[in-house]
Structure 1
Amino acid sequence: MTSPRGSLRPRPPTLLDRRRRRVDELAEASGRSLTADAFRRLRRNPVAIVGAVIVGLFVLVSILAPWIAPHDAATAFPELQRTLRPDSIPGAQPGFPLGSDQNGRDFFSRMILASRQTLLVGVLATLIGLVLGVVIGALAGAFGGWVDTVLMRVTDVLLSIPSLLLAISIAALAAKPSQTTVIIAVALVSVPVFARLLRGSMLAQRESDHVLAATSLGVRRRSIVLRHMLPNAMGPVIVQATLTLATSILDAAALSFLGLGDGDPARAEWGLMLANAQSYLDVRPALAFWPAIAIILVALGFTLLGEALREALDPKGRR
Structure 2
Amino acid sequence: MSERSERTGGGIAVLSEKKKARLDALAKSTASTGGVSLFRDAVRRLRRNPVAIVGAAIVGLFILVAIFAPLIAPHDPVERFPELTRDLRVDNIPGAQDGFPLGSDPLGRDFASRLIHGARQTLFVGVVATLIGLAIGVLLGLLAGAVGGWVDMILMRVTDVMLALPGLLLAITLVALASKSSQWTVIMAVAMVNVPIFARLLRGSMLAQRESDHVLAARALGVRQRAIVLRHMLPNSLTAVIVQATLTFSVAILEAASLSFLGLGDPDHNRAEWGLMLGVDGQRYFEVRPELAYFPALAIIIVALGFTLLGEAMREAIDPKNRR
Q: TM-score, normalised by structure 2?
A: 0.89
Confirm whether residue 278 of structure 1 aligns to residue 293 of structure 2.
no
The Cα shift of 1:266 comes to 1.1
- Identify which range, 254-263 or 230-239, moves more after superposition: 254-263
* Alignment-derived partner of residue 12 in structure 1: none
One of 187, 190, 193 as aligned partner of 1:186: 190
Pair 23,93 (structure 1): closer, same or farther in 2 beyond 3 Å: farther
Please give the residue correspondences for 1:129-168 in structure 2 after superposition, counting only pairs within 5 Å: 129-168=133-172
Which residue of 2 is the match for residue 207 of structure 1?
211
Instruction: Name the structure 2 match of 1:99.
Output: 103
Which shifted more, 298-307 or 276-285?
Answer: 276-285
Following the alignment from structure 2 to structure 1, what is the Cα–Cα distance between the partners of residues 26 and 278? 51
Q: Specify whether residues 216 and 281 from structure 1 end up closer, same or farther in structure 2 by C-alpha distance, changes over 3 A only.
A: same
Displacement of 1:97 after TM fit? 1.0
Query: Which structure is higher in helix share?
Result: 2
1:114 aligned to 99, 112, 118, which one? 118
Pick the aligned partner of 2:294 from 286, 289, 294. 289
> How far did 1:89 drift?
1.3
Shift of the 222–108 alpha-carbon distance from structure 1 to 2, 3 Å rule, reads same
Give the paired residue count: 303
Q: Which residue of 1 is the match for residue 179 of structure 2?
A: 175
1:279, distance to aligned residue in structure 2 (A) = 2.1
Tell me the secondary structure at the aligned position of residue 234 of structure 2.
helix
Q: Give a deviation string over 1:38-75, Cα, whole Å, max 9, x none.
A: 11110010100000000000001001112211212211
Distance 1:25 1:77, change over 3 A: farther
Matched AA of 1:130? L
The answer as to 2:302 corresponding to 1:306 is: no
Please tell me whether the aligned partners of residues 74 and 265 of structure 1 are also in contact (alpha carbons under 8 angstroms). Answer: no
In the alignment, which residue of structure 2 is the partner of 1:254?
258
Alignment match, 1:123? 127
C-alpha spacing 1:144/1:100, structure 2 compared with 1 (3 Å): same
Measure, in 2, the Cα distance between the counterparts of 1:137 and 1:74.
43
Q: Which amino acid aligns with 1:143?
A: V
Q: Give the direction of change, closer, same or farther, for the CA distance of 1:57–1:143 in structure 2 (3 Å limit).
A: same
| Deviation (angstroms), 1:317 | 4.2
Quote how far apart the aligned CAs of 1:253 are.
Answer: 0.4
Deviations, residues 156-209 of structure 1 (Å, cap 9, x unaligned): 111111001000100111111110000000000000000000000000000111
Q: Is the Cα contact below 8 Å between 2:315 and 2:322 reproduced in 1? A: no
CA contact (8 A) 2:46 2:52 kept: yes
Whether 2:62 is the aligned partner of 1:58: answer yes
SS in 2 for 1:47: helix
Q: For the structure 1 residues 220 and 109, does the alpha-carbon distance in structure 2 shift closer, same or farther, using more than 3 Å as the test?
A: same
2-side partners of 1:21 and 1:76: how far apart?
Answer: 71
Aligned partner of 2:115: which letter? M
Q: 2:48 maps to what in 1?
A: 44
Alignment of 1:222-261 (within 5 A): 222-261=226-265
Q: 1:98: how far off?
A: 0.6
Q: What are the ranges of 5 or more consecutive residues in structure 2 without an aligned counterpart?
A: 1-17
Post-superposition shift, 1:26? 8.4
Matched letter for residue 278 of structure 2: L
CA contact (8 A) 1:211 1:224 kept: yes
Q: 1:221 aligns with which of 225, 228, 252?
A: 225
Counterpart CA distance in 1 for 2:66 and 2:84 is: 26
Q: Is the 8 A contact 1:29 1:37 kept in 2?
A: no
Give the percent of matched residue pairs that are identical in Structure 1 and Structure 2: 70
Q: Could you say what secondary structure the match of 1:282 adopts?
A: coil
Deviations 1:257-296 (A, max 9, x none): 1111111121111111111221222221111000000000
Write the letter of the residue equivalent to 1:168. I
Segment drifting more, 306-315 vs 70-79 = 70-79
